[in-house]
Amino acid sequence: MAHERYTLGRIVVNGSSTWNLEGLESKNLSSGIQTLLRRAAGQPDASWIAVTEVAPRLSATCSDVETFLSNVAMSGFAFPQSTTYTTVENYFVNLPDGGVRDATACVKGAMNKGLIVPRRLTWGLEPPATIEFDIIATFDGTNAPLILSVSQTMSGTPVIGEMFRAGPVTINGTTGDSFTSGSFDFGLSEEAARAMDQIYPTRVHIQAREPEFRFPTSDLSILNTYGISGTAQSATDSVIALRHMPNRSSVTADTEEEHITMTVDDGLIFWEEGGGSNDSDAESTVVLKPIFDGTNEMVVFATDQALSE
C-alpha cells in the first residue's frame, strides 16, 4: 500500500461566481462524529456502538483578509446562494514521493450547504494580518454535509495576492500611536440544529453577536484617558485601519486606495489591567466593545480605502 502524504490546498467558494482563499496558514477538518457506547450488565467492555451525530466542520486561518471581508459579513456567509455560490470546496494537495506538490491528485471535501463563520482577526506591525474562521456544513436534504473524493484536480495556481499589517488607529477621534497590534473578535454565537430523525445538522444560524476590539499598549496614560468606568464612544467614529503591504516593496502610501478600515459608531471604551515587571515595560489593554446604534452595522468593514486625501 502506498504511503501518501498531503499538505494544505486552497479553499474555493464555487458557483457561477468564485472566490478563493489561498494564503492559508493552517486548517483542520473535523468529521464531528459523536458515538454512543453501551456495556452489557456485568461486563467491563462495550459490546454496542452507534453513531448519534455527524457534524463536519472546517477550521482555518488565512491571510486573505481583504478577500474574506469583502465576501463575508458580520453575520457570516451562508451557502448556497442561488446559482452564484453553490458549494465550498476544500483541498489537500498530494506530496508525491520524489517530487513536488501534485495538484492533480488532491483530496477534496465538498460542502453543498452551510455557513462560513468569522471568528477572529489579528494584526501587528510585522506578522501579516490573519483571520480565523469556521465552515459549518449542514445537510441539504440529499447529500451528506461533507462529500470526500480523491484524485481530484485543484484548478489554477494559488499565489499570495494580498497582505496587510497594523495601520493607524483612531479611538473617539484620537490617534493611538502606541497601538501597534490588535485583534477583533467577531463574537458570533451560532446554533446548529438537527431535524427529526437526522444524524446530520439540517440548519445553522447566528444566535448572538458581541464583537470586541482589543489593543495592547505600553502607554499607561490611557488608564487616565478612559477612566475606571470607561468612556462612551462619542459622535466621532472610531476607525481601525489595516495597511496594505505591497509585493516587492515596503509601504503602500496613505493616499492609495488599497487599505482596509473598520469603523465603529457606538459602544464603550475601557481598559482592564495595567502593569508589568521590573525588567520590562508596563502594559495595558484597551477594549472597544461596539453596540448597535439602531441604524448602522456595529462594525463597518471597507476595503480599497485611502487613509488620507
The DSSP annotation for 48-70 comes to EEEEEEE--EEEEEES-HHHHHH
Q: Is the dihedral of CA 3, 8, 14, 18 positive or negative?
A: negative
Reference 292, options 257, 252, 264; nearest CA is 264
Residue 251, amino acid = V
Query: Is 119 part of any domain?
Result: yes
Q: Which of 58-67, 246-255, 293-302 has the lowest mean pLDDT?
A: 246-255
For the cut 90, the answer to whether the pLDDT of residue 277 exceeds it is no
Per residue in 63-92, pLDDT tens? 999 999 999 989 999 999 999 999 999 999
Q: What are 250's three cell numbers? A: 515596503
Query: Is 171 part of any domain?
Result: yes
Query: Is 241 part of any domain?
Result: yes
- DSSP summary character for residue 129: P
Give me Rg for the CA atoms of the chain.
23
Query: Is 1 part of any domain?
Result: no
Helix (H) or strand (E) holding 224: helix 222-226
The per-residue pLDDT for 308 is 83
Calculate the dihedral angle through the C-alpha atoms of 39, 43, 45, 51, rounding to the nearest 10 degrees: -10
Q: What are phi and psi of 293, to 5 degrees?
A: -90, 5
3-class state of residue 255 by DSSP: coil
For the cut 80, the answer to whether the pLDDT of residue 2 exceeds it is no
Tell me how far the alpha carbon of residue 232 is from its chain's centroid. Answer: 28
CA–CA gap between residue 20 and residue 28 (Å, rounded): 17
Query: Cell 474562521 maps to which residue?
Result: 133
Cis peptide bond prior to 80, omega within 30° of 0: yes
What is the domain range of residue 175? Answer: 6-305
Q: How many domains does the chain have?
A: 1
